[in-house]
Structure 1
């Protein structure tokens, strides 16, 4: 099971925010890498090899935390999210560290680095979209039409039909997970991969998820290397049908200080699917 990967020397912490708290889990030893998104989900996706080589700090963001009904939706914005990360950074005891984010959490990591450049030594974006939601969906549809096999297409249709036939389950959080699991052909190189165990015990604040997605509806990735000098590593997977690698080629000319690496036979979560390719890449780049 994924939780068996946790090191005996791990420790937990938390910081308060209006209407709730954000937890973080610290594992391993070595240079610090702050992974934002969820202190429950993401530790299950990274290998023991990385946890032996790095001090990995896995931190919640509000939409994957336990929030009370008084959490204000007006706080779901990039400034507040960056402040959340800064609170966690301070609570972790590290003055300056590398920061990583997967999918839209990579966009949040970048926006944190732009607001707190003195706190970020390096930035890692894992299968993150460089453009807004509409453009990402359009590119994903084209990539699916051009590259998805008939087996993958038929399997996605079958899984979605089966999910629709079952109807809603007990909670909105369970519905969120059920949809993600059913859409495995979009997210994973192995189209039948069962992501259910990754979500066990993950608090999902479904009330604020639409507002979180809305932050990126008109998003365009950009930064000024003078104001945000941290080197940026972008990692994509050849079989990511949710955030396709084709998104990146048109953006590269306008993005400074960036290295782009593509991992073969890999979907949306390369750290879990291809650790033998992902881990050396990360460690080598962090040591440069």
Structure 2
């Protein structure tokens, strides 16, 4: 990604474009690069796109959870003078955006969820990977996508580094437990705002039945499928993902 990453105080983020603000939240294993296609497209089509780096590896252990990530994003949005924004979230980023909608509804007027946790997800599997097992990490990274070639060496290297860092592993596990504790099923029926659900038909982390359950529980949602696609549609099929979201924005006059 060619955009400059800004560091201001406790915040590290990408900011691109002018116009209606979109806040984008990456997942547990994600990086600022995950939404490169979203930043590229929407920043050139009348939107300001903000992508904060979530402090998953830097919060104190006791505060490494969905609730405190939501508080961090609230603080970031206030710092950037953003209110009533669209939030786009993938995986744990979707979960955080749902918690923000519940706890700080004045900040959110619509959501785009893609491969979101919040109801159910499979993380790294039943056993945590052995430290030093690069091929195992490579296979796990590739399994997130329908096309394993989507998993770049940089992605594999980042995950390999994370699972070989004891402090990061502890926080990853803390986040996984927090995601289970903060199940949103009872909260979703109260969220009346428009929600766009974009899901990979071959998502093995948050399988298709999860998308269908989100669609059933949310009172104002619309579900879109992308075939031959895994857990991160915005990475695996960026053009199609952007077309779906842009069309949904037009339908709901989000501009």
Range of TM-score over shorter length: 0.7 to 0.9
Describe the shift of the 1:89–1:82 C-alpha distance in structure 2 as closer, same or farther (beyond 3 A): same
- Structure 2 Cα separation of the partners of residues 60 and 256 of structure 1: 30
**Structure 2, unaligned stretches of length 5 or more?**
163-167
Aligned residue in 2 for 1:25? 14
Q: Contact 2:197/2:215 (CA < 8 Å) preserved in 1?
A: no
Aligned residues: 237
Aligned residue in 2 for 1:233? 196
**TM norm structure 2:** 0.78
- Structure 2 Cα separation of the partners of residues 23 and 201 of structure 1: 18
Aligned residue in 2 for 1:160? none
- Structure 2 Cα separation of the partners of residues 190 and 274 of structure 1: 10
Consecutive aligned runs of 4 or more in structure 1 exceeding 6 Å deviation: 199-203
**TM norm structure 1:** 0.70
Describe the shift of the 1:284–1:115 C-alpha distance in structure 2 as closer, same or farther (beyond 3 A): same
User: Which one of the candidate residues 14, 39, 48 is aligned to 1:55?
Assistant: 48
Deviation at 1:186, TM superposition (A): 2.0
User: Which one of the candidate residues 125, 145, 148 is aligned to 1:191?
Assistant: 148
Larger Cα-atom Rg? 1
- Structure 1 Cα separation of the partners of residues 221 and 242 of structure 2: 19
**Structure 1, unaligned stretches of length 5 or more?**
17-21, 142-162, 170-174
Q: Does 1:261 align with 2:224?
A: yes
SS at match of 2:116: coil
User: Which one of the candidate residues 107, 118, 122 is aligned to 1:119?
Assistant: 107
Deviation at 1:269, TM superposition (A): 1.3
Q: What are the within-5 Å matches in structure 2 for residues 89-238 of structure 1?
A: 89-133=77-121, 136=122, 168=132, 179-198=136-155, 205-222=168-185, 223=187, 228-238=191-201
